[in-house]
Structure 1
Amino acid sequence: MSASDGRRRASIALAYVAFAFVGVSAAVGGVLLPAQIADYAVGEATIGITFFTFSGGFMLAGVTAGTLMHRLGTRLSLVAAGAAYAAAALYMATRPPFWAFVAVQVVLGYGTGLLESALNAYLAKLPSAAVLLNRLHAFFGVGALLGPLLAAWMLGFAPWTAVWLTLTVACLLLIAGFWAGYPRRAPHGGDHGDPRHDAVEPVDASGPAGERAAAAAPDGDAVTGRRVRSRAAASDAAGGGLLAGALRSPAVVLASTFLAVYVGLEVGVGNWAVTFLIDEHGQTALTAGYAVSGYWFGLTLGRFLISPIATRVGLSATGTSFACLIGVAVTAGLIWSVRVPVVAAAGLVLLGFFLGPLFPTAMAVVPNLTTDRMVPTAIGVMNGVSVVGGAVFPWMAGAAAQGVGVWTLMPFALSLAVVQLVLWRLIVARMSPV
């Protein structure tokens, strides 16, 4: 193995660690919410404002990530992302005033969003990118599994601010790893969006995109086809044509809405399940924290297991999503109707298991919803809108918990599952033949 291969493998491993860290950061929030509510003496709806400020920062990162990576390169973009996250986490560890606690979520969201964008962009340029990206997002689930365990354990002997101090230290270690382990520029000599590099990048003619590129090129010249597509894409991007086209596409709009509802359900349950188990089922904070870890464990397990099993039995990706959505609805209904602590805890694991494959599958079918050139833009729009759902729906769940009772969490989840079923049916009707 050459030195460059070793460095690349190290950078991939570090990307997995970084995404696990992002998962930990996302999952500790639900465990910390009761302590933060008590500390600041605010209600569920008020603390839910942080969902909006975090999402605002995350969306801002999505808008600016491409420009930053083009100007700074991969390594400095990752360092900047880590620095933003570490600064926000350290400030929260000081227990700031509530208004500042809400405001600093913008910086935290920006650091998180830029970190995710940069790592996805880096791995997308490597060989076997699809495999690498699937594993990358699976490691988010691993971190989300560990996060509640860490937070629940630390809350047993330390204030909630100590959790953010721990995350600050971990992020500083990641920053050092980014500086040492990543190249200044992305593979192939440049970051995304540089047509000079796109023009000479070979096309994989074994896949659908490669076949269409070869068909569009004179005499089957796939490289020439790539040059033509690159020039056209650069022209469309310069005029805002791709973004406008994505926003005008009913299929992309539906898929974006689907992901917004999905993320709202996933994050809503993840954030409020601890409060649900404590208030409705009389569980201790430690036991509830462990149960929510089971929810994230089910999410991770579903992403690892359901797709291979479905492929083995001959179930399509769209059919798998239908089956999973039905499983989500049935499980939410079961937890709601059978008010037994053991059923609630086991049901959360099952709920996470069925939720797991939905996000990756929605991303995987994008090439069947739009043209090849539109795929990256469509995915960007879907990601951005999904973050909005991750703010709005958890806030709605918190407002319902405060105004009516936290028992509303499961009928809330059931309602969102039904909405997703309707949206998925509309999306499938707009897919091109595979």
Structure 2
Amino acid sequence: MSSHAFSAFINVEPSSSSGEEHAVPIAPQKAVSRVYHSVPQEHTPAPLELDNLQWGKKLKGPDVTESGYPTPSGAQTPSGFQTPRSPNDLEMSRAPSPINEEDGVDVTQSFSNPPMNRFRMVSVCLLNFGNGLGDAAPGALIPYMEKHYNIGYAIVSLIFVTNAVGYILAAFLVDAIRARFGRAKTLMFAEAMMSVGYVAIVCTPPFPVVVAAFFLLGLGEATNLAMGNVFAANLHNGTKMLGAMHGAYGLGGTIGPLMATAMVTSGHLIWSRYYLLVLAVTLSNLAFAGWSFWHYEAESGQPLLDTVQRVASQTQNGLPQTKQPGQFAGMAKAFKSKTVMLGALFIFCYQGAEVSISGWVISFLIATRHGNPSAVGYVSAGFWAGITLGRFLLSHPAHKIGEKVFVYGMVIGAAIFELLVWQVPNVIGDAVAIAFVGLLLGPVYPCATVVFSRAIPRKEQVSGLGVISAFGSSGGAVAPFTTGILAQAAGTFVLHPIAIGLFGAMLIIWFCLPNIRKRTE
């Protein structure tokens, strides 16, 4: 069939004006403009949404408008529309959804992201180093304190009691202070309290003033310990970070008895002059911690999360609530947590055994093994050296094996070596066994802190770990005080059955803890 046959079906209309050119069809205007960053643009494109992502903010979850109310996830507020300004307006548009663990995934910080975390990690290590310098020295200085003030075991043990009272008081204050003033000022407050206590001790005042000074030391140590635990536990590979942090504590505990014994025996200085060294470290930590944590909340996005949580708690079905939770609501909730209560009991037994061994083993070697005071004063340093090596060397294998299983082996091994110290009548053998007790106890604290942090929701960790640190660490006063009272009546050998009994209680409490799956964020 030829082409001419089709011409009958085609009607070609001539243009109305032969002189006019045909108009080019115009594409419809885009309803929504798009920017493709791989294609050159006439104008500078707006930055990617990820460019504005801050550490600690949600990858998924509601954004927050200028008014402080959350908008639907992924939605943008057009420039021509008015942002809701009241809870009622918000309810008419869309109900708010508070940020919680189910809304999205937290961006886990690491040692180098954001970069300032390098200095913050060094700061918390130095804070714990200062704590170790202060905590380990009384074991070596107690014999000289007794001689200077002409007091016995029971009276000198009062320093452990007031130290525990400071720890317990910190549990009620640390979260409220952190929420009101931020982490930097909270850490500076803690170091200021410790500095006042050390200044009082350096002046060699009457013994009641020394007892009161140890209260300030406990208050400051518990505060910076809670802050450091929360920071390190939430970094990537928290077990390793906590191992480094608490390893620094063991390093301070190793150096402390060495310096204290050398200053008193070789330097012929009064016992209180040792605390000049600790005072210098504390003042340095005050300045460094304030500098490194000064912009922590801004970098972690904490003000944004606090705003959304506050708005969500104040609105229910679009209406403001008249009753708002107080500053201590987080701590009251922590007391209802099974993990927090078992964690506090576990750390109570751990700290009680650790401080009792460190504080009374030298008195045991002098009174029962008839050791030379100038020589056995270094045994306490061996114990803390073992703790330091354990935290630096065994924390990584604990992370590989599993913290829950690893702690069982460490506690059982520590109990066996403590039994050898009790039964082997040899000063050198006892000193070696004490060092092994410290080596096995070293990774227990950081491993336990990791397990607790996985079981406690992120927004409740400051209050939860604060309660664990404060009430748990009070065991570092109750057990040594009890040991001193019993040693006054029966003899210093009571140290060992007390320590072994505390190890047994740790195993029972650890067994009762729920199995917590490892976080994946």
The TM-score by the shorter chain falls in which range?
Answer: 0.7 to 0.9
| Counterpart pick for 2:294 among 184, 209, 213 | 184
The match for 2:343 is: 255
The match for 2:146 is: 37
| Counterpart pick for 1:22 among 131, 138, 160 | 131
Point out the more displaced range, 338-347 or 240-249.
240-249
1:143 CA displacement = 0.9
Residues 125, 187 of structure 1: 8 Å contact kept: no
- Under a length normalisation based on structure 2, what TM-score does the superposition of the two structures give? 0.68
Matches of 1:381 and 1:189, distance apart in 2: 26
1:375 CA displacement = 4.7
| Counterpart pick for 1:175 among 271, 286, 295 | 286
Superposition map of 1:99-114 within 5 A: 99-114=208-223
The match for 1:271 is: 359
Q: Secondary structure at the match of 2:135?
A: helix
Letter in 2 for 1:283: G
Matches of 1:233 and 1:109, distance apart in 2: 36
Letter in 1 for 2:130: F
| Counterpart pick for 2:490 among 404, 417, 422 | 404
Residues 174, 463 of structure 2: 8 Å contact kept: no
The match for 1:431 is: 515
Map Cα deviations across residues 77-133 of structure 1 (whole Å, 9 max, x no partner).
333322221221111111111222212222222222333344445556767666444
The match for 2:45 is: none
Residues 171, 471 of structure 2: 8 Å contact kept: no
Letter in 1 for 2:136: A
Letter in 1 for 2:279: T
Residue 356 in structure 1 maps to residue 445 in structure 2: no
Residues 74, 122 of structure 1: 8 Å contact kept: no
Residues 188, 197 of structure 1: 8 Å contact kept: no
Residues 236, 242 of structure 1: 8 Å contact kept: no
Residues 336, 410 of structure 1: 8 Å contact kept: yes
1:31 CA displacement = 0.8
More helix by share: 1
Matches of 1:80 and 1:407, distance apart in 2: 40
1:295 CA displacement = 0.5
Point out the more displaced range, 131-140 or 244-253.
244-253
Pair 1:94–1:186, CA change in 2 (3 A) = same
Pair 1:241–1:103, CA change in 2 (3 A) = closer
- Of the two, which has the highest radius of gyration? 2
1:362 CA displacement = 1.9
The match for 2:70 is: none
Residues 307, 320 of structure 1: 8 Å contact kept: no
Pair 1:229–1:308, CA change in 2 (3 A) = farther
The match for 2:374 is: 286
Superposition map of 1:372-383 within 5 A: 374-383=460-469
Pair 1:390–1:284, CA change in 2 (3 A) = same
Q: Secondary structure at the match of 1:413?
A: helix
Superposition map of 1:128-207 within 5 A: 131-156=240-265, 157-178=268-289, 181-189=291-299, 196-197=304-305
Matches of 1:81 and 1:228, distance apart in 2: 27
Pair 1:60–1:245, CA change in 2 (3 A) = closer
Query: How much is the aligned-residue C-alpha RMSD, in angstroms?
Result: 3.1
Residue 384 in structure 1 maps to residue 470 in structure 2: yes
Matches of 1:66 and 1:345, distance apart in 2: 41
The match for 1:220 is: none
Pair 1:311–1:98, CA change in 2 (3 A) = closer
- Under a length normalisation based on structure 1, what TM-score does the superposition of the two structures give? 0.81
Matches of 1:11 and 1:263, distance apart in 2: 25
Matches of 1:56 and 1:8, distance apart in 2: 32
Map Cα deviations across residues 269-324 of structure 1 (whole Å, 9 max, x no partner).
11111111222222222322221111111112222233433566xx4322211111
Letter in 2 for 1:55: A
Matches of 2:517 and 2:192, distance apart in 1: 45
Q: Which runs of 5+ in 2 are unaligned?
A: 1-112, 316-322
Residue 322 in structure 1 maps to residue 420 in structure 2: no
Point out the more displaced range, 182-191 or 153-162.
182-191
1:19 CA displacement = 1.9
1:33 CA displacement = 0.9
1:16 CA displacement = 2.2
1:251 CA displacement = 4.1
1:377 CA displacement = 3.7
Q: Which runs of 5+ in 1 are unaligned?
A: 200-226
Q: Secondary structure at the match of 1:17?
A: helix
Percent identity (aligned): 26
Letter in 1 for 2:294: R
